[in-house]
Amino acid sequence: GLFIWRLRNTGVRQIPYRFVNLYHIANDRLISFQYFNFLKRMYVTQYNKDLSQRAKPKSDSAVSPFHELQQLDQEKKVVHKISPVSPVHQSWSETLVRNEWREMKSAAETEDSVIPVGAGSKEDRQWKEMKLRLDDLPGVLARLSKIKLTALVVSTASAGFAMAPVPFELTRFLLASFGTGLASCAANSINQFFEVPFDSNMNRTKNRPLVRGQISPLLAVCFAASCGVPGIALLTLGVNPLTGALGAFNIFLYTCCYTPLKRMSIANTWVGAVVGAIPPIMGWTAATGSLDAGALLLGGILYSWQFPHFNALSWGLREDYSRGGYCMMSVTHPGLCRRVALRHCLALIGLSAVAPVLDITTWTFPVISLPINLYISYLGFQFYRDADRSSSRKLFFCSLWHLPMLLLVMFTCKKSVLEKEDKGDLPGRSRERAMEIRLP
Amino acid sequence: PPAHSHSDWIGPPDKHSNLRPVIFYVPPEESALERRLREARQEAQASNQRFWARHNRAFRQEKEEFIYSRLKAKGLEMRDESGQKATLNAEEMADFYKDFLSKNLKKHLQYNRDWYKHNFRITFLMGQVALVRALRWLRRRKKNVEQ
pLDDT tens by residue, A332-389: 998 899 999 999 999 999 999 998 888 888 889 999 999 999 999 999 999 999 888 8
> In which band, very low, low, confident or very high, does the pLDDT at B50 lie, cut at 50, 70 and 90?
very high
**Residues A216, B126: C-beta atoms closer than 8 Å:** yes
pLDDT in the model for residue B115: 94
pLDDT in the model for residue A123: 58
Tell which residue, A35, A422, A134, A191, has the closest CA to residue B13.
A35
Cα-based distances in Å from A69 to A73, A76, A90, B83, B113: 6, 11, 31, 11, 39
Supply φ then ψ for residue A266, to 5 degrees: -70, -10
pLDDT in the model for residue A426: 47
Q: Out of A125, A213, A217, name the one closest to residue B123 (CB).
A: A217
Tell me how far apart the alpha carbons of residues A112 and A128 are, in angstroms, rounded to a whole number.
Answer: 6
Options 3.90.105, 3.10.360, 1.20.120, 1.10.390; CATH for A292-417 is 1.20.120
Do A213 and A171 contact (CB within 8 A), yes or no?
no
Please report, for chain A, the start and end positions of each structural domain, with discontinuous segments joined by +. Answer: 133-289, 292-417
> In which band, very low, low, confident or very high, does the pLDDT at B3 lie, cut at 50, 70 and 90?
confident
pLDDT in the model for residue A247: 95
Low-confidence ranges of chain A (pLDDT < 50): 1-120, 419-426, 428
pTM of the model: 0.73
Q: Is B132 on the interface with A (CB under 8 A)?
A: no
Is residue A105 left, alpha or beta, with left meaning phi > 0 and alpha meaning psi from -120 to 50? Answer: alpha
**Residues B98, A108: C-beta atoms closer than 8 Å:** no
| C-alpha distance from B147 to closest chain A C-alpha (Å) | 32
Percentage of chain B exceeding pLDDT 90: 47
Percentage of chain A exceeding pLDDT 70: 66
pLDDT in the model for residue A284: 94
Q: Using DSSP, state whether A417 is helix, strand or coil.
A: coil
Q: How far is CA B40 from the centre of its chain?
A: 14
pLDDT in the model for residue A432: 52
Options 1.25.40.10, 1.20.120.140, 1.10.357.140, 3.30.70.260; CATH for A133-289 is 1.10.357.140
| C-alpha distance from A340 to closest chain B C-alpha (Å) | 18
Q: Which of A103, A130, A131, A256 to mutate to test the interface with B (most CBs of B within 10 A)?
A: A130
pLDDT in the model for residue A130: 83
pLDDT in the model for residue A439: 54
ipTM over 0.85: yes
Mean pLDDT over the full length of chain B: 87
> At residue B83, does pLDDT exceed 70?
no
